[in-house]
Amino acid sequence: MATSVGLNENVEGALAYLLGFITGIVFLIVEKESKFVRFHAMQSAITFAGFWIVGMILSYALIPVMGFGFLFFGGLLVMLINIVAFVTWIVCMYKAYKGEWFKLPVVGDIAEQQVGSFET
């Protein structure tokens, strides 16, 4: 099914994850018709903004303040978060491309509620 942008829903849904929260926000703004695309765009925006914020907090706020011991632990924690974010990114893009309404825990429900509240 074509969207208001002119792409197939599955392609546009996958593209909503391409650059994380940035493309999620872009597709939330430009897509007016497809609830499928808007759901994936909202899920992308919430999920990857969250990963980005947590990564920034750990990278720039906690690690320098806590000293060398925490620097090592914090670095491992940031690396673990980046791995989880990467796997989440791949899975979400794949599921959206396959046309699935794949909901991440907690975030998927929030995205679903927000998409429903956007409809007029």
Q: Above 60 in pLDDT, residue 120?
A: no
Q: What is the pLDDT of residues 50-105, one digit of tens each?
A: 999 998 887 776 555 555 555 566 677 888 999 999 999 999 999 999 999 999 99
Evaluate whether 58 touches 81 at the Cβ level (below 8 Å): yes
pLDDT-based confidence at residue 3 (cuts at 50, 70, 90):
confident
The structure tokens listed for 23 are: 């493309």
pLDDT attached to residue 67: 54
Q: Above 60 in pLDDT, residue 21?
A: yes
Angstrom distances, CA of residue 49 to CA of 33, 34, 53, 78: 24, 22, 6, 15
Q: How many CB atoms lie within 10 A of CB 90?
A: 11
**Predicted model pTM:** 0.84
How much is the mean pLDDT over the chain? 86
Extents of the domains making up the chain? 9-114
Q: Quick check: helix, strand or coil at residue 34?
A: coil
